[in-house]
Structure 1
Amino acid sequence: MSHRRLNRIFYREITGPCLITLLVLTFVVFTREFGRLAEMLIRRNADAVTVVQIVAYILPSVLIFSIPFAFLIGTLIGFSRLSSDSEIIALRASGVSIWQMIKPVLKVASAVALITALFTCVLLPQGNWSLRRLSHELGFKPLQSEIKPRVFNEDISNTILYVEDIDLRTSGWKGVFVHTSENGKRQIMLASKGDLITSENGRRVQLHLENGTVYDTNEAAPERDSLTRFGTQDLLLSMPEMETAFSKPKRPKDKTLIELWRDRQHGEASEQRANGVEMHGRISLPLASLIFGLLAVTLGISRPKGGRGYGFITSIVVAFSYFILFDLGRSLATEGAIPIWLGGWGGDILLAALAGFSFYAASRETRIVERIVDHPVLSVAGSGVRRFMAHLSGLFRGVAAAAGNRFWDICTVCVQLTRVIDLYMLRNFLFYLIPTLAICMSLFYLFTFFELMDDIVRNDVSYWTVFHYFLFLVPHILTLLVPISILIATLVTFGVLDKTSQIVAFKSCGISVYRIAVPVVLVSALSGAGLFVLQEYVSPYANQKQDSLRNIIKGRPVQTYYQLGRNWIFGENNRLYNYAHFDSKNDIFADVSVYDLDISENRLNYHLYAKKVRWDPATRNWIFNQGWRRDFAGGNGPNYEAFAERYFSFPERPSYFEQEVKESSKMTYGELKVYIRSLQRAGFEVDQLRTELYKKLSFPVVSLIMTVLGIPFSFSMGRKGALYGIAAGVVIGIFYWGMFGAFEVMGANGLLAPVLAAWGPNILFSTAGLLMLSWVKT
């Protein structure tokens, strides 16, 4: 066999898996971004070109990992398939050496390394820097979180900002409350309208207010407080993050390779280490592709009976191990725990040692993997597990027998109703579904870990906290990935059945495609029901916990969900409470201010202050100690009165200050429905929340729709196999999630009815799926 023909065989074998893996990896990472990109396109008045630019700027940070990762997985899958079909044995018998197999792979690895180097050395720093500049040019609010209605925002230095409502069409604010404190001076501003205005170069941000009131307080002499009205007023905000984005030097990840080389010996020691680690990482990561190529070939041919499943699992383990070592080494080197060069090259060195050993074993035809698997220790462990499972099975049988013959009668009826075909289809479907979901979750966790690694090391976060974060992230990941996993599993299951002519055999026995699909449809429906239960009873709590843990990892103040804004809370009739501390066990407040506001008129009626406030259960009143009251609503001008102790009756009880305030993703369907009704009675716009409400019902149905859509698509692929099914599933998922995000944002902005925005994609895709299913030859 000529070398050219042999090379074509290897190229063809690894190209398909590599490209499909690259597509899957990129899709999994961008699953979280569809909604945000659609919001930029519609709500923030960014045109389609701008959204494409944002995607282009984000892509390099993803592709520098996904390209080498995809090459490793694709190569290992390809050679594992050749080995499992005994084609490697045939080639070795024909005189083809290990080196002749490795040479074409190393050529591809060299191309992958050059492409990865282009991204790490040129496109990545350009993308990072351009994304920062573009975000300011678009006037994005440089806050850690967006301004949300009816939530106190404390991201602006020395400023508390509260917006009663937001006009979704213009993004303007209605009913604005601003509290500023600096150098012992406190100021409150009320305005009917407001907005953030960013300068053209993005360096300055000011708060523009219209038709309002300014209340200046004097803590030393409260009787001298003043109240003035204004038509328009602009407040220059102190935005440290925005200033550092342009005034400080570039971060290491924003610098090109030349800039890193130039700055490696400039600045403080920590900056030198950061620049050096980044420079070494930019070079070591692309060169890892060469090692991946050598390792993939030698591991792929070392276990003849492994197949593609063995190749995929092995590549996942290798990729996880390398990238964890890569990120951990960089972080330790940045902290000065290990030398800079070792931090950048440690993962490559260990991987090269493993590849060299694997090549030595493969060249001497030493099946090291089979020897490890067949090791006496593992054999003894495996037999022990089998004996334990047999004992456990016998125990369950004994318990069942004790339950009486009635139980066995019911089981017999169930077995008779469950036919062999249903069990066969169910087994095949779950055989692809469970690994697909596990792999997608692994990839999601992998890239999330990469994203947080620097923060974990910099903020000295314990790995137990990281474990808890990943644990509470599971419901969110399942909600995102179960539908796409069901789609891929459906495509692969029916695609393989069609390729192996099993569909023809079923038809010849008089069994239609519709009958074959029943167990798959039932599993999908049960999965949708499970997602709804997860969304209602697990996700609200889990989302709160994972948000809190993520803030700890990121080094941000932990955001409590008991009164967002912590010490600011609105009571009835626009009564605003501000306190320094609340002892919920003894119902005692410290340093309390009560502001009686008339938001519709932008007016402050009175300001009540006390150093200590406690609840009296006997009289059911609040006792204010060492305080004063300043009235502004009287016709004779402001009135000031101090007191040592006074009783006040407010409708808010101590339990009111402990009640939980959540976002829509942290509420059940019933809680969100009640919340929407209360906002509607108050006259607020609730299109966005109503869209979220209907989405809680529509999204779990996606699993069933994916199955209905996947069955006819699997037959349209002909006999192309499982890999094409995976690729088709990812492409369909991209279109579906993109449409789902666009419809959701249009519903939130009033461009579509909320119910149509939530159910529109489901209606379109389910209709298309049913039509295609009706055309399938049964």
Structure 2
Amino acid sequence: MKTIHKLVLKAYLGPMILTFFIVMFVLMMNFVWRYIDELVGKGLSAGIVIELMTYAMANMLPLGLPLAVLLAAIMTMGNLGENYELLAMKSAGLSLVRITQPLLIFVSLIAVGSFFIGNNLVPYANKKMYSIISDIRQQRQTLEFRDGLFFNGLDDMSIRVGHQDPDTHLLYDVLIYDNRPTNRGNMNTIVADSGYIRLSDDRRSLLVTLYNGETYEQTRNGQWYTKSALRHHTFDLQKQEIPMDGFVMERSDNNISNSQTKNINELQNDIDSLEIKVNAATTSSYEPLLKEQIFVRDHSVLPLPDSLRIDKRGFRDMQTADSIARLPLREKERIWSQARSLAKNSRNMFSFDETTAKQTLSQLYRSKVEWHKKVSLPASIIIFFLIGAPLGAIIRKGGLGLPVVVSVIFFVVYYIISLSGEKQVKEGNWEAVWGMWISSFILTPIAVYLTYKATNDSALLDTDWYAGKFKALREKVEPRLLKFKNAIKFKLHGKPNDAQ
């Protein structure tokens, strides 16, 4: 490897690592903002939170890698151009393609690695992350009493606290409605001047300590309450240990399976099987349904030997009407009820088949989306590099200023196009190939154009060049505008502007 290639590669590694962690930090903040309501107030340990964040970070790698490659490429080539190092390399006879050759090889290795990340690591991380989130959602929040409000986070219990001391956590004016099954259907009402209510250290029991209160126990007598069923007694100190479930984070083996938790081989198997089901559903005939449900052949609707049994092709509906009209009223009602029941059953069977076909088709579209996502990720990384490297050589600005703005603009355009295409594919309006690759189809010509401009030292984003062109155009147009203005005034006032 040439020394100049080592210099370019070393200049790229620093911004690449820096931008990667910046991008992942921003994406992680978005993840935390989405799930903040489910994470706060449940007493999760640091290990659970770190594990969840790790899996979430692995899930965001396919989104963060392209942006990090784009931003690092713009910063690297911008720094080389701003320090005139890129100009010195070109003066030595090296083209832009030769200069970026080690970077292109390095980014190609990243692209190949991204395929294995998206195919193996991301599905595993998604499965674990969804399992942890499901366990967190099933966990109760910790005890949080607010002054004057009822806390209903316990099954069959409701607790109101008048005031809570923020330092000692002593509760004043406590009211508890206890309707747990362990009370054998009785409803207990406890009123106390003060007390403590907290979870045990293992978070499996509720420790209740009350001072100076009264207990009202109202027993059930069948479905009615009687005056003799009310019991009342006072207490100076009352302690209870109530078993509680749901406050401990219990890990489960939730085997969550969807299109985001499968690799490309599993997705291909799902696509093949789903396509067979969809084709079978779309080509299925409803003739058996009509024969078995609507046009019944066993004479269960009209058992009488009448004209309905004969060939009616020449009589159309006349024989049917005459035959039904001659039946007794009860037989007519029975026939009507049975026919309506058969029609409802037919409609339910048709609706079930239709719903199943729609669900199968939706799963097929989602599987195709995930399949093309895994394949298109390496291509998008290379395309972003081919946009960022020539763009940095053109703008010749390093740092986190203009490169960040330009890269974010390109990434937002790419993200919006990708989401729009994905939505069209999931709705069945577009083929998966077009919907998932449309962003690459649009950005590839831009990458080729920018590479051509940078190779030819184009001043595409040079503000001084645009200012000079605008000044030259202004100097060329202003005399003509002045001449035209004088001609108009000469026609209106009889003398040109210079003679005034």
Please indicate the TM-score interval, normalised by the length of the shorter structure: 0.5 to 0.7
Q: Please say if residues 17 and 77 of structure 1, whose CA atoms lie closer than 8 Å, have aligned partners that are also in contact.
A: yes
**Which whole-Å CA distance do the structure 2 matches of 1:373 and 1:216 have between them?**
91
Give 1:364 shift. Answer: 3.8
Aligned counterpart, 1:142: 138
The yes-or-no answer on 1:271 pairing with 2:363 is yes
Aligned mate of 2:442, from 346, 350, 372: 350
Aligned counterpart, 2:121: 123
**Which whole-Å CA distance do the structure 2 matches of 1:178 and 1:333 have between them?**
53
Give 1:22 shift. Answer: 1.8
Aligned counterpart, 1:89: 87
The yes-or-no answer on 1:326 pairing with 2:418 is yes
Q: Equivalences for 1:227-306 in 2 at 5 Å?
A: 246=254, 250-264=257-271, 265-266=273-274, 268-304=360-396, 306=397
Q: Please say if residues 152 and 159 of structure 2, whose CA atoms lie closer than 8 Å, have aligned partners that are also in contact.
A: no
Aligned counterpart, 1:44: 43
**Which whole-Å CA distance do the structure 2 matches of 1:20 and 1:43 have between them?**
34
Q: What's the secondary structure of 1:301's corresponding residue? A: helix
User: Any idea what the Cα deviations from partners look like across 1:371-420, whole Å, max 9, x if unmatched?
Assistant: 9982899889x9xxxxxxxxxxxxxxxxxxxxxxxxxxxxxxxxxxxxxx
Give 1:16 shift. Answer: 1.0
Give 1:296 shift. Answer: 1.2
**Which whole-Å CA distance do the structure 2 matches of 1:153 and 1:64 have between them?**
43
User: Any idea what the Cα deviations from partners look like across 1:664-712, whole Å, max 9, x if unmatched?
Assistant: xxxxxxxxxxxxxxxxxxxxxxxxxxxxxxxxxxxxxxxxxxxxxxxxx
Give 1:78 shift. Answer: 0.9
Give 1:144 shift. Answer: 9.5
**Which whole-Å CA distance do the structure 2 matches of 1:280 and 1:364 have between them?**
35
Q: Equivalences for 1:743-758 in 2 at 5 Å?
A: none
Q: Please say if residues 57 and 128 of structure 1, whose CA atoms lie closer than 8 Å, have aligned partners that are also in contact.
A: yes
Q: What's the secondary structure of 1:282's corresponding residue? A: helix
User: Any idea what the Cα deviations from partners look like across 1:73-109, whole Å, max 9, x if unmatched?
Assistant: 1111110121223332322232212321232221121
**Which whole-Å CA distance do the structure 1 matches of 2:363 and 2:187 have between them?**
41
Q: What's the secondary structure of 1:368's corresponding residue? A: coil
Give 1:19 shift. Answer: 1.1
Q: What's the secondary structure of 2:101's corresponding residue? A: helix
Q: Please say if residues 69 and 319 of structure 1, whose CA atoms lie closer than 8 Å, have aligned partners that are also in contact.
A: yes
Aligned length: 351
**Which whole-Å CA distance do the structure 1 matches of 2:230 and 2:425 have between them?**
56
Q: What's the secondary structure of 2:395's corresponding residue? A: coil
Aligned counterpart, 2:10: 12
Q: Please say if residues 132 and 245 of structure 1, whose CA atoms lie closer than 8 Å, have aligned partners that are also in contact.
A: no
User: Any idea what the Cα deviations from partners look like across 1:240-263, whole Å, max 9, x if unmatched?
Assistant: xx9x9948x523323333332222
**Which whole-Å CA distance do the structure 1 matches of 2:159 and 2:465 have between them?**
62
Q: What's the secondary structure of 1:127's corresponding residue? A: helix
Q: What's the secondary structure of 2:430's corresponding residue? A: coil
Q: Against the structure 1 CA distance between its residues 97 and 133, is the aligned structure 2 distance closer, same or farther, given a 3 Å change threshold?
A: same
Aligned counterpart, 1:102: 100
Give 1:369 shift. Answer: 3.1
5+ residue gaps, structure 2: 191-195, 210-214, 233-239, 275-358, 475-500
Q: Equivalences for 1:676-695 in 2 at 5 Å?
A: none
Q: Against the structure 1 CA distance between its residues 259 and 87, is the aligned structure 2 distance closer, same or farther, given a 3 Å change threshold?
A: same
**Which whole-Å CA distance do the structure 2 matches of 1:286 and 1:216 have between them?**
70
**Which whole-Å CA distance do the structure 1 matches of 2:165 and 2:360 have between them?**
47
User: Any idea what the Cα deviations from partners look like across 1:510-535, whole Å, max 9, x if unmatched?
Assistant: xxxxxxxxxxxxxxxxxxxxxxxxxx
Q: Please say if residues 329 and 344 of structure 1, whose CA atoms lie closer than 8 Å, have aligned partners that are also in contact.
A: yes
The yes-or-no answer on 1:310 pairing with 2:308 is no
The residue type equivalent to 1:8 in the other structure is: K
Give 1:193 shift. Answer: 6.0
The residue type equivalent to 1:149 in the other structure is: F
Q: Please say if residues 126 and 254 of structure 1, whose CA atoms lie closer than 8 Å, have aligned partners that are also in contact.
A: yes
Q: Against the structure 1 CA distance between its residues 103 and 332, is the aligned structure 2 distance closer, same or farther, given a 3 Å change threshold?
A: same
Q: What's the secondary structure of 1:369's corresponding residue? A: coil
Give 1:355 shift. Answer: 0.7
Q: Equivalences for 1:106-255 in 2 at 5 Å?
A: 106-134=104-132, 140-142=136-138, 148-150=144-146, 164=161, 246=254, 250-255=257-262
Aligned counterpart, 1:57: 55
**Which whole-Å CA distance do the structure 1 matches of 2:186 and 2:469 have between them?**
73
**Which whole-Å CA distance do the structure 2 matches of 1:318 and 1:377 have between them?**
26
Moved more, 67-76 or 186-195: 186-195
**Which whole-Å CA distance do the structure 2 matches of 1:276 and 1:374 have between them?**
46
Q: Please say if residues 422 and 436 of structure 2, whose CA atoms lie closer than 8 Å, have aligned partners that are also in contact.
A: yes
Q: Against the structure 1 CA distance between its residues 179 and 105, is the aligned structure 2 distance closer, same or farther, given a 3 Å change threshold?
A: farther
User: Any idea what the Cα deviations from partners look like across 1:426-473, whole Å, max 9, x if unmatched?
Assistant: xxxxxxxxxxxxxxxxxxxxxxxxxxxxxxxxxxxxxxxxxxxxxxxx
Give 1:294 shift. Answer: 1.1
**Which whole-Å CA distance do the structure 2 matches of 1:131 and 1:80 have between them?**
38
Q: Against the structure 1 CA distance between its residues 224 and 298, is the aligned structure 2 distance closer, same or farther, given a 3 Å change threshold?
A: farther
Give 1:29 shift. Answer: 4.4
Larger Cα-atom Rg: 2
Q: What's the secondary structure of 1:268's corresponding residue? A: helix
Give 1:342 shift. Answer: 2.8
Q: Against the structure 1 CA distance between its residues 287 and 45, is the aligned structure 2 distance closer, same or farther, given a 3 Å change threshold?
A: same
**Which whole-Å CA distance do the structure 1 matches of 2:86 and 2:57 have between them?**
37
Give 1:214 shift. Answer: 8.5
**Which whole-Å CA distance do the structure 1 matches of 2:21 and 2:433 have between them?**
33
Q: Please say if residues 175 and 193 of structure 1, whose CA atoms lie closer than 8 Å, have aligned partners that are also in contact.
A: no
**Which whole-Å CA distance do the structure 1 matches of 2:266 and 2:114 have between them?**
19
Aligned counterpart, 2:338: none
Give 1:327 shift. Answer: 3.0
**Which whole-Å CA distance do the structure 2 matches of 1:104 and 1:124 have between them?**
28
Q: Against the structure 1 CA distance between its residues 350 and 194, is the aligned structure 2 distance closer, same or farther, given a 3 Å change threshold?
A: same
**Which whole-Å CA distance do the structure 2 matches of 1:152 and 1:179 have between them?**
15
Q: Please say if residues 43 and 142 of structure 2, whose CA atoms lie closer than 8 Å, have aligned partners that are also in contact.
A: no
TM norm structure 1 = 0.37
**Which whole-Å CA distance do the structure 1 matches of 2:165 and 2:241 have between them?**
19
> Which is bigger in relative contact order (C-alpha 8 A, separation at least 6)?
2
**Which whole-Å CA distance do the structure 2 matches of 1:286 and 1:147 have between them?**
48
The residue type equivalent to 1:26 in the other structure is: M
User: Any idea what the Cα deviations from partners look like across 1:484-523, whole Å, max 9, x if unmatched?
Assistant: xxxxxxxxxxxxxxxxxxxxxxxxxxxxxxxxxxxxxxxx
Q: Please say if residues 252 and 274 of structure 1, whose CA atoms lie closer than 8 Å, have aligned partners that are also in contact.
A: yes
5+ residue gaps, structure 1: 181-185, 200-205, 383-778
Aligned counterpart, 2:453: 361
Aligned counterpart, 2:495: none
Q: Against the structure 1 CA distance between its residues 4 and 272, is the aligned structure 2 distance closer, same or farther, given a 3 Å change threshold?
A: same
Aligned counterpart, 1:454: none
**Which whole-Å CA distance do the structure 1 matches of 2:131 and 2:29 have between them?**
24
Q: Against the structure 1 CA distance between its residues 95 and 134, is the aligned structure 2 distance closer, same or farther, given a 3 Å change threshold?
A: same
Q: Please say if residues 41 and 51 of structure 1, whose CA atoms lie closer than 8 Å, have aligned partners that are also in contact.
A: no
Quote the RMSD (CA, aligned, Å): 5.3
